[in-house]
Amino acid sequence: MPNNNQTALHAGLHRGIAELGLSVDSDTEQKLIDYLQLLVKWNKVYNLTAIRDPQQMVSYHLLDSLAVLPHLQAGRWLDVGCGAGLPGLVLAICRPDWSVTLLDSNSKKTGFVQQAIIELGLHNAQVRCARVEDVDASQKYSGIISRAFTELGDFLRVTRHLMADDGHWVAMKGLPDKELPGVPKDCTVLKIIPLKVPGLDAARCLVIAKPGEPHD
């Protein structure tokens, strides 16, 4: 990628991080750009994302994923339906002390994620190619997140066996109101957090849920 393009990507990412009020050091910013460049390169052959413009990827992929960071706690995270690694790889890059497992049933996408983990040197990330329903429940996760996996109720149901008793689900959504009636009775929605993603002119929010029935 030409240097002037990379400079523009750095500027857009740095400006967006500042707007989000996050503290991200220069090495981490560079690693995020390195990930983006890998995504651009692989996307030409494997069609990993419909967004082709790298500058647009900064907002729609990097900043959209970074916007959730202030609302997450340290722990063992599972990114279900990770696609090209969003938000899981962004979390792993920015939070090297967290453990992040990325899961998708599409081998083309998990192949890219595995290569990105290797090239970026992410020792805290691993990827699995499988359907979530088939994942062994012997290890539980303190946090399970999804960005574009399925409707809220289905997301909670199919991952329930992998959730620790004191863990939380985080669903990245647009406008989730129509999906709330589908929440299983053994899960409780704790809060819905509106997000403002720099450069993204679309409604974004987080739905935070936990196991257990709601109390009166």
What mean pLDDT is predicted for residues 91-106?
Answer: 98
Q: Which residues contact 195 (CB under 8 A, 6 or more apart)?
A: 67, 68, 204, 205, 206
Query: Annotated binding residue at 132?
Result: yes
pTM: 0.95
Query: Of 3.40.50.720, 3.40.50.150, 3.40.50.2300, 3.40.50.970, which CATH number belongs to 3-211?
Result: 3.40.50.150
pLDDT digits (tens, 9 = 90+) for 24-41: 999 999 999 999 999 999
Q: What is the pLDDT of residue 214?
A: 67
Query: Annotated binding residue at 147?
Result: yes
Domain ranges in the chain? 3-211
Q: How far apart are CA 193 and CA 173, in angstroms?
A: 10
Contact of 8 with 55, CB cutoff 8 Å: yes
Query: Annotated binding residue at 86?
Result: yes
Q: How far apart are CA 62 and CA 20, in angstroms?
A: 12
